[in-house]
Amino acid sequence: MAVAARVRHSVNQSVPNATHFPLALNIIDFDTDNITATANRLTIITAGIYCVIGQVRFAANGVGTRQILIRRNGINYLAIASEDGQKAPGQTTTIIASTLFQLVAGDYLELFVFQDSGAGLDVLTSEPYPGKYYTPVLAAALF
């Protein structure tokens, strides 16, 4: 069986202005290797090269920048993706960050976001339907 896990969150989360903010992830969709010590992080059990993906959707707001960051071991950011909130004023902003990275047993991954709209801004949850990803989501799969 392949080594993989995906965690997500079930309700909107308010992200403070101009702060790197850790997202709560309270639902484990699947976990084939006991990777999830808690739903807020993925803790690696089996060493190897992993494909790591994070996805978020911010509420509509035409001011500032939005970022998603995947952090390893509370220190290093493995992947960062940004979008300008002014690209599509009045529309939500979905951002995906991904990377291939060699991880060892005990490494853990967390999902952070950043926004500087001038006030708190929600990261939205999505109701799933066939072919649509949940957001926010953090997933890892051994290559």
Give tens-digit pLDDT for 31-40: 999 988 777 8
What's the count of helices (H) and strands (E) in the chain, helices before strands? 0, 12
Q: What is the dihedral of CA 98, 27, 57, 120, to 10 degrees?
A: -120
How far apart are alpha carbons 110 and 129 in whole angstroms? 25
Q: What is the pLDDT of residues 72-130, one digit of tens each?
A: 999 999 999 999 877 667 788 999 999 999 999 999 999 999 999 999 999 998 765 55
Longest dimension (CA), the chain: 46
